[in-house]
Amino acid sequence: MTLAIADRKAEAAAIFSGHGVPHRRVEEWKYSDLRSALGDAGIGAAQAELHVSQMAAGIESFDLSQPNPPTWVSAHFGQAHRNVMSAASLSLAQGGMAFRVSGAIAEPLKLEFAAAGHVCALLVLEAGASLTLVESVGIANFRNVGLEIVLGEGATLEHVRMSPQSGEAVLVENANVRIAAGAQYRAHFASFGSKLSRMELEIALEGDGAQAHLSGVALLDGNRHSDVTTHVIHRTGNTHSTQLFKHVAGGHSKAVYQGKVTVAKGADGSDSIQSAKALLLGDAAEADLKPELEIFADDVKCAHGAAVGDLDAESLFYLRARGISENDARGLLLQAFLEDAVAEISNTDQRELVRTELLTALKAIA
* Selection from 233, 219, 290, 211 nearest residue 258 by Cα: 290
**Which DSSP symbol is given to 26?**
S
Q: How far apart are CA 235 and CA 137, in angstroms?
A: 31
**52, 336, 359, 364: residue in contact with other proteins (rule CB under 8 A):** 336
**307, 317, 359, 364: residue in contact with other proteins (rule CB under 8 A):** 317
* Shortest Å distance, C-beta 341 to other proteins: 10
Task: Indicate whether 319 belongs to the interface with other proteins (CB under 8 A).
Answer: yes
* Shortest Å distance, C-beta 116 to other proteins: 38
- 188 close to 160: Cβ distance less than 8 angstroms: yes
Q: Which one of 76-84, 117-125, 263-271, 308-316 is the stretch in contact with other proteins (CB under 8 A)?
A: 308-316
Task: Indicate whether 307 belongs to the interface with other proteins (CB under 8 A).
Answer: no
CA distances from 253 to 246, 279, 285, 288 (A): 15, 12, 5, 11
Interface with other proteins (CB under 8 A), residue total: 24
Task: Indicate whether 314 belongs to the interface with other proteins (CB under 8 A).
Answer: yes
Q: How far apart are CA 134 and CA 169, in angstroms?
A: 21
* Shortest Å distance, C-beta 311 to other proteins: 11
Task: Indicate whether 332 belongs to the interface with other proteins (CB under 8 A).
Answer: yes
Q: How far apart are CA 217 and CA 141, in angstroms?
A: 23
Q: Which positions from 150 through 169 interact with other proteins, judged by CB under 8 A?
A: none
Task: Indicate whether 311 belongs to the interface with other proteins (CB under 8 A).
Answer: no
Task: Indicate whether 299 belongs to the interface with other proteins (CB under 8 A).
Answer: no
If phi over 0 gives left and psi between -120 and 50 gives alpha, with beta otherwise, what is residue 82? Answer: alpha
Task: Indicate whether 357 belongs to the interface with other proteins (CB under 8 A).
Answer: no
Task: Indicate whether 351 belongs to the interface with other proteins (CB under 8 A).
Answer: no
Question: Sheet containing 49-54: which strands, arranged edge to edge?
Answer: 49-54, 109-114, 130-137, 156-163, 184-191, 211-220, 240-249, 271-280, 301-309
Task: Indicate whether 349 belongs to the interface with other proteins (CB under 8 A).
Answer: no
Task: Indicate whether 57 belongs to the interface with other proteins (CB under 8 A).
Answer: no
* Shortest Å distance, C-beta 325 to other proteins: 5
* Selection from 91, 99, 122, 97 nearest residue 6 by Cα: 91
**Which residues in this chain contact other proteins in the complex, by CB under 8 A?**
312-315, 317-326, 328-329, 332-333, 335-340
